[in-house]
Amino acid sequence: MVVAVLLFGGKGERFNKNIPKQFYKLFGKTILEHTIEKFILPYIDNIIIVTNPKYLTETLEITKKYNCSKKIQVIKGGKCREESTLNAINFLKKYLDKEDIVLIHDGVRPFVFPEIIIENIKTTEKFGSAVTAIPSENTIGIVRNNIIVEFPDRKNTYTIQTPQTFKFEILENSFMKNLEKICSFTDDSSVVKSAGYPVYIVPGSKMNIKITTKEDILFSEFIIRSEKNERNL
């Protein structure tokens, strides 16, 4: 079984809007809808939506129309990103076997390509993990007290995206090992790495953006226009 977990638990504080990012509409559809539709695929068995408890009713209302071909379930998120993932793990452990695959995706990355999802699944089937990443194009500096203390070799630096995908046994074991400090992590791959498991990368895309700021909305509108133009050619 392959399950997609879409994380919408954030408050969107950097977004500077009166509504959470997932309810912002792009060309008549909420970001929530755009993202869900990317995962309604023949090789995804179930979709779990993890949402801020404050917006549970609104999320359920939007997801109703998709409950025809896929089993889509909505659960409450936690007080941090990784606690939201943990809530999904605790929900799924009643249904999943250790070899089942879980894709975890930022809900406000609505432009992930099917090819990225497929490569995540294939790599996880083979190695147990897969994390979407793109090579860093800019020089990266390690900074302490506003002073650059190190320049890592750019050839070895990547920008990490989502999906981040794991066999369920690896994912659950990793979170159980790091339970006491789970909110100190910023993504799922770092939890798995901290537990001692290797984390393999698969190629991402510059288009696979996380909508965080108003500038990201402008780029998102450009992407959707481009997709529409391609379909009309």
User: What pLDDT is attached to residue 202?
Assistant: 98
CB 182 within 8 A of CB 82: yes
pTM equals 0.93
Among 197, 209, 208, 207, CA closest to 167: 197
3-state secondary structure of 62: helix
Q: Which residue range(s) make up the domain with 17?
A: 2-232
The tokens for 135 are 């090579």
Q: Does the pLDDT at position 12 exceed 60? A: no
Mean pLDDT, to the nearest integer, of 119-145? 97
Specify the number of domains making up the chain. 1
Report how far residue 50's alpha carbon sits from residue 5's, in angstroms, rounded to the nearest whole number: 7
* Residues 39-56: tens digit of each pLDDT: 999 999 999 999 999 999
CB 200 within 8 A of CB 132: no
Q: Does the pLDDT at position 98 exceed 60? A: yes
Q: Does the pLDDT at position 130 exceed 80? A: yes
Burial 39-54 (b: 16+ CB within 10 A, else e): bebeebebbbbbbbee
CB 5 within 8 A of CB 102: yes
Give the domain CATH number at 77. 3.90.550.10
Local confidence band at 176 (pLDDT 50, 70, 90 cut-offs): very high
Local confidence band at 14 (pLDDT 50, 70, 90 cut-offs): low
* Residues 61-73: tens digit of each pLDDT: 999 888 665 689 9
What is the β-pairing status of strands 101-106 and 129-135?
unpaired
Q: Does the pLDDT at position 224 exceed 80? A: yes
